[in-house]
């Protein structure tokens, strides 16, 4: 899968968006639905939603953030 700059002026295919797409998400499939044309605002929103799901949450330290004095 790859994201490329769109060479054509096609409407964004995300929901009810009526903007002109600037990017194309190209999948490994073959056929007419192998490309998803998406505009910059929708791509940014998709990025935010994916980041919430993929980026792992930080693990809390058992000590609670305090350092122990050794000495």
Q: Where are the domains of the chain?
A: 2-54
Q: pLDDT tens digit string along 14-42?
A: 988 989 999 999 988 777 778 889 999 99
**Strand ranges (DSSP E) for the chain?**
2-5, 23-26, 35-38
Is a pLDDT exceeding 60 seen at residue 71?
Answer: no
What is the C-alpha separation between 12 and 16, in angstroms, rounded?
A: 9
> CA-CA distances (angstroms) from residue 18 to 11, 12, 36, 56?
6, 6, 14, 33
Query: Predicted confidence band at 5 (pLDDT cuts at 50, 70, 90)?
Result: very high
């Amino acid at each position: 899968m790859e994201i490329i700059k769109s060479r054509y002026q096609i409407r964004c295919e995300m929901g009810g968006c009526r903007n002109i797409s600037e990017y194309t998400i190209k999948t490994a499939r073959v056929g007419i639905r192998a490309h998803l044309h998406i505009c910059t605002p929708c791509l940014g929103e998709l990025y935010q939603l994916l980041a919430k799901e993929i980026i792992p949450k930080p693990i809390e330290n058992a000590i609670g953030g305090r350092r122990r004095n050794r000495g």
